A and B are shown apart, each in its own frame.
Chain A
Amino acid sequence: MKRSQRLRWQATAIATVAALGVAACSSSSSSTPTSTSSSTAPLTASAPGITPTSILIGSHQPLTGPAAPGYDEIAPASTAYFDYVNAHGGIYGRKIIYKYLNDAYDPTTTASVVRQLVLQDNVYAIFNGLGTPTHLAVVGFLNSEKVPDAFVASGCDCWDNPTTYPETFGWQLDYIREGKILGQYVAQHFKGKKIAYFYQDDEFGMDGVKGLEDEIPASMVVAKESYVDTNVNIAPQVAALRASGAQVVVAYSIPAFTALLKLNSLKLGFNPQLVVSSVGSDPITLSGLLEAYAKQGGATVNGNALIQGMITDEYLPALSTSDPWYNLFLKIHNQYDAKEPLDGNFFYGMAVAYTFVEAMFKAGRNPTRADLVAAINAGLPQGPMVAPFAYSSTDHDGVTGGYIGVIQNGVVVEKTPVMVTDTTATGAVTPYTGSEQSPPASGVPSP
């Protein structure tokens, strides 16, 4: 096991070096002498969406509709970080203009707004398009138009398909890796307990369960219940979970359904240990939803008290003033977008914008669209993430690991070291031996 692990790391390292070499060769042999060498070359309109003074990027985001609560904070947070970079010299002097359009989490609308961004507004790249069903509606189009499709805001393993979708890259922890990391923790810490799964009946939930099943022996699992996100009546599923005698419920649910799971369990006097994927566990979003739903039903609850002790995973640092990234993002938050709460979604928006700025610097002074893709394929530093990225020319997954945390007094407290793994059924979940990076003093990654 250990040896195959080392072999895999070596293979990854060799692949990365090879990819770097290829990228270096291609950029040195290209006719434009601008990209890496000269720092005084004039800025040109080197690609669609790029002018000597600006870089226009676009995105589709759920600003209204079922997915809006919480997720509508992400794009404003990214904008705040881009504004900060623009005020601190921009990217080689160019300012980033971030135009995001509302798709209301409806794939038909996504198809329309993304074409508007690409065909009419001529954006350089699509950045952080949010949602699995929504982005699936445009991934083929973006790749046929050769538009860089950087850092999809979804953990679907479907973005890691460099042969079919060479332009598309994931960013957040994919649901399979996440499921394996959660699954290993559950298998080790709840030995002999009865485990049940509660998951969204789509790519998101099923990928997660796939990861869980790699680590949790089938003999421990007593029930599997799924829900569809258009039906808020999950009382039958919760009753079935209760009847199974489950002591631990692992949930692959979006925040609204994590809250419904908790409230329905409460109603039945069913109190299992909840283990929830990072997708559905942001404490600030959850406690707000719990209080709002209870109020609709004529009850008053304390949201933070209800989620106390919930186990989850994170691939971003904890929201605490002891973390240098949190302090950097807090400073930018207060300066540029203090109206929004600084919760997990806001942190996410800032962090993904930081990764994009890193990639843009690596793409060179006068980048083409292909330069950006090559820069990401050559690998990116992990920046605010707790584990390294998987990026290579053969792997378009994002971050490769995270840690297990428990919610205490409304914040996620780290319980385990950072664990990394791969998306295969047999790949082991191992502690990450590297360390987290510190943010640059200026708050802007250097070229």
Chain B
Amino acid sequence: MPSTDIDVKYVAHLARLGLTPEEERKFGAQLGQVLGYIEKLREVDVSAVEPTAHAVPMVNVTRPDGIRPSLSNEEALRNAPAQAGGLFIVPKIVE
């Protein structure tokens, strides 16, 4: 059974979220309380219940696989923090 303590450091790493030690401590305590509240869901008998991912009964919404107008290269780069030659500049990924 899951405990009501979140390993905030580990989860923050999964989410690529930089936290100060103070934030780790504070959020850990606050989220511990929220998880404590959420425990009440264990009271519910869900044995014969299907999960709902989407409230409207729609499935397999598709469109024809065709090219449609989109943003131009320029428009797509307009808010880029760093760009050159029509590309986003990113830190080195592979050695």
A and B: interacting chains: no
